[in-house]
Structure 1
Amino acid sequence: MALRQSVSHITKRATQSQITTVSASPVFALWKSDLKGNGVHQRNGMATMVPPVTQDATGSKGPTAMVFMNMGGPSTTDEVGDFLSRLFADGDLIPLGRLQGYLGPLISRRRTPKIQKQYAAIGGGSPIRKWSEYQSSEMCKLLDKMSPETAPHKPYVAFRYADPLTEEMYTKLLDDGFGGGRGGRAVAFTQYPQYSCSTTGSSLNDIWRWRNRLEGKRATGEVVPEGSITWSVIDRWPVHPGLVEAFAENIEKTLATYPAEKRDKVVLLFSAHSLPMSVVNRGDPYPAEVGATVYAVMQRLGMKNPYRLVWQSQVGPSAWLGAQTSDTVQEYVKKGQTDLVLIPIAFTSDHIETLYELDHEIIGEAGQEGIKRAESLNGSPTFIQALADIAHAHLKSDIACSPQMMLRCPGCNSERCLEQKKFFASQQQQL
């Protein structure tokens, strides 16, 4: 009942202006026209960052912690074993049932040498921490100018399976003066644009778990101790115009490398991390939201090229969402279609699945000059501006979390998921 009342309260406060849809070019024209006023100038068709304001003042509602949530990746080959151990122990991401505690460590140990070689092949570690810290820092500089009342905006990164882990992030929040009787606002900002219980849901479960350990009930029995951190959540943004524009810019840049007479015949393959069919059949919204991103990007591109949505990174013998990216490329090559552009549509920066799986395994092994990959979002000024716009709109909304986040999957039986949602819904009263 408490959850239902909180959801009802949130729903009433959600306005149509907070639901972004992508349609024809006027949406993008309007969004791009705002860039100059929000800290990005266009020069010779390229976006360049305006010198940011410094984080040296506190607004009436500041400071605000902006926490970027992501899977993460090992920064060195020595970290691969621990990374895989945490990954295969997470039943939200890779459900192994009652044998999770046995099969998880077994699989991680057997895969470690192979995965270490893959990370060695891309430079000795994942760049995802570097890009996450850069993106969050640059976004906060823009936010300080866009939302001075909630400044300074302090960037944090919370990875699910690699350093900095959620525990490290939460401890740093407390060390920096948030919570612990001093209050303060923190925003959990998912860096998975499309929501899945396996990704965003797992990260939120972890924040909720560490919040309970470090700021939970006191001896007096308080559910929300006075002076604890007030949390809100940006849980998904699959069709935000800035995200769509950033993808489209990178695709157009890649298409421009093909001869003009071939350009419109290049097949665009949007590749996203797959999910076990057991998760999909439970009602996870991820496939639909990835499809929404793909269609929005194709609308922005004018539907000029044929395209497909494909899926990568299947693990184990169980059924996963397909068609698989690797199989799709092989089949098109057999059919004589050798001009293909792979687009990592569910990733916001480079990591092992772009730099090794797509570049080395799929494109490299295909051996076709016409098979290429669109650049990842990484340091794109358009993308970073989009992050700032999303965060700014969220801070203005005074909504703890979206009504969509409160809806459980039809087949969900996880008490952890239920309690996590109750917690974030309860934060509405603190805003």
Structure 2
Amino acid sequence: MTTEVAMDQPGEGRLAHAQSDHPPIPRAKVGVVLANLGTPDNTDYWSMRRYLSEFLSDKRVVDYANWKWQPLLQLIILTKRPFSSGEAYKSIWNTEKDESPLLTITRAQTEKMTERLKALYGDDVEVDFCMRYGNPSTESVLTRMKEKGCERIVFFPLYPQYGSPTTATANDQAFRTLMKMKWQPYIRTVPAYYEHPAYTQALANSVQQAYDSLDGRPSKLVASYHGVPERYLLEGDPYHCQCQKTTRLLREKLGFSKEEVDTAFQSQFGPEKWVGPQTVNHVAELAKQGHKHIAVLSPAFSSDCVETLEEIQEEIHDSFMAAGGETFTYIPCLNDRDDHIEALTQVVNNELLGWLG
């Protein structure tokens, strides 16, 4: 660590070169922050409106000019969409903890990551999580980390594939927080990890375990990723290409043929052309082609959320069944599976080189 302190009490001390009356400061640590997309605080209209306004006002998500987009968003979209989005969240809400599944799962991931990193580094590491939209906010968590003595922070957006509306906006928010600090911590951002062998293995394990539990083998495995406008790809965003490679690496790890695994994209909105095929249409086409049993997984999501628990298991499921499908198997996200936490830990350990150990 860079700051030498003389310890007065556990967890605090004085700078080694400081005079005796210097105020106590926290012992220097390294922080690890897991960053996820976000969640509304509740499912009521105003909670949903606040969340959707923050999300849809992000230039990384919708990059139209404010004069064109904000009147449409504030006066039309946000008068109706909070109701429909609230209903979607109600259908998946964790009523026991009164929070969204994304929040529940991200907390569980953080707790398991804390156990693993504490076992390796003891009290030299501090682990927490934040959300890009909603709570706990990126600013509040990074500020708390700094107050705890984290002079160096590994900031880890939990998106296997890099995307400007996901990874980049999470990093943007972290840097905005640093812009307000008089004494900034050193920060490392974690790159995309879609081709990390441990991540691919965890994905393959989840598919194989799901298949082993079924009476019959699905004739098609669909890897469904969150979509982006085709324009993003043409402007240099690598997300689409990394999704395609994720599917290929998974297929090769499983030993499946090309005919057994497809890539599709969900959650399209707005008038412009998006990358495809659209999952909701693709599964219907599969049913019409005679695929009566398919399985769907979401390799772009580290945690199950409204896009998987509601969109895939309801809208996309219903599209497949209405077109003649018979059995629809959803394979959950990796969530807090031990092999997933192991993969994430390996990624973090690589970024901690030179800082700890």
| TM-score, with structure 2 as normaliser | 0.84
**Cα distance in 2 for residues equivalent to 1:57 and 1:175:** 12
Q: Per the alignment, in what secondary structure is the counterpart of residue 32 of structure 2?
A: strand
Q: Does 1:345 align with 2:315?
A: no
Contact 2:30 2:355 in 1 (8 A): no
Whichever residue aligns with residue 127 of structure 2, its letter is P
2:210 maps to which residue?
254
Contact 1:269 1:310 in 2 (8 A): yes
Q: Give a deviation string over 1:307-332, Cα, whole Å, max 9, x none.
A: 11100011112211111000001111
**Cα distance in 2 for residues equivalent to 1:383 and 1:336:** 34
Q: CA deviation at 1:382?
A: 0.4
Q: For 1:155-304, what aligned pairs fall within 5 Å after superposition?
A: 155-178=127-150, 184-215=151-182, 225=183, 228-259=184-215, 263=217, 266-304=219-257
**Cα distance in 1 for residues equivalent to 2:205 and 2:87:** 33
**Which structure shows the bigger proportion of residues in strand conformation?**
2
Q: Does 1:105 align with 2:59?
A: no
Q: Residues 291, 365 of structure 1: CA spacing in aligned structure 2 closer, same or farther, 3 A cutoff?
A: closer
1:29 maps to which residue?
none
Q: Give a deviation string over 1:255-295, Cα, whole Å, max 9, x none.
A: 22444xx52x6201000000012212111011111112111
Contact 1:69 1:200 in 2 (8 A): no
> Structure 1 residue aligned with 2:35, among 65, 69, 74?
69
**Cα distance in 2 for residues equivalent to 1:197 and 1:379:** 25
**Cα distance in 1 for residues equivalent to 2:269 and 2:189:** 30
**Cα distance in 1 for residues equivalent to 2:354 and 2:74:** 43
**Cα distance in 2 for residues equivalent to 1:171 and 1:90:** 22
Contact 2:295 2:329 in 1 (8 A): yes
Q: Per the alignment, in what secondary structure is the counterpart of residue 270 of structure 1?
A: strand
Q: For 1:133-172, what aligned pairs fall within 5 Å after superposition?
A: 133-148=107-122, 151-172=123-144
Q: CA deviation at 1:350?
A: 0.8
Q: Give a deviation string over 1:162-218, Cα, whole Å, max 9, x none.
A: 21111222232244334xxxxx11111110011111111111111111210233xxx
Q: Per the alignment, in what secondary structure is the counterpart of residue 77 of structure 1?
A: coil
Q: CA deviation at 1:239?
A: 1.2
Contact 1:310 1:325 in 2 (8 A): yes
Q: Per the alignment, in what secondary structure is the counterpart of residue 178 of structure 2?
A: helix
Q: Give a deviation string over 1:77-96, Cα, whole Å, max 9, x none.
A: 03221110011100111222
Q: CA deviation at 1:398?
A: 5.9
Q: CA deviation at 1:57?
A: 8.4
> Structure 2 residue aligned with 1:354, among 296, 308, 314?
308
Contact 2:280 2:319 in 1 (8 A): no
Residue identity over aligned pairs, in percent, reads: 26
Contact 1:66 1:136 in 2 (8 A): no
**Cα distance in 2 for residues equivalent to 1:295 and 1:162:** 34
Q: CA deviation at 1:351?
A: 0.5
Q: CA deviation at 1:75?
A: 4.3
1:327 maps to which residue?
281
Q: CA deviation at 1:230?
A: 0.9
Q: Residues 62, 377 of structure 1: CA spacing in aligned structure 2 closer, same or farther, 3 A cutoff?
A: farther
Q: Per the alignment, in what secondary structure is the counterpart of residue 199 of structure 1?
A: helix
**Cα distance in 2 for residues equivalent to 1:97 and 1:319:** 18
Q: CA deviation at 1:373?
A: 0.7
Contact 1:146 1:392 in 2 (8 A): no
Q: CA deviation at 1:359?
A: 0.5
Larger relative contact order (CA 8 Å, sep ≥ 6): 1
- Bigger drift between 127-136 and 324-333 goes to 127-136
- Bigger drift between 125-134 and 341-350 goes to 125-134
Whichever residue aligns with residue 196 of structure 1, its letter is G
Q: Give a deviation string over 1:362-411, Cα, whole Å, max 9, x none.
A: 11453344211112111200000111111112111569xxxxxxxxxxxx
**Cα distance in 1 for residues equivalent to 2:189 and 2:153:** 9
Q: CA deviation at 1:62?
A: 5.5
- Bigger drift between 133-142 and 202-211 goes to 133-142
Whichever residue aligns with residue 72 of structure 1, its letter is G
**Cα distance in 2 for residues equivalent to 1:127 and 1:257:** 24
**Cα distance in 2 for residues equivalent to 1:123 and 1:238:** 28
> Structure 1 residue aligned with 2:105, among 131, 146, 160?
131
1:17 maps to which residue?
none
Q: Which consecutive unaligned segments of at least 5 residues does structure 2 have?
A: 1-9, 13-26
Q: CA deviation at 1:132?
A: 1.1
1:85 maps to which residue?
53
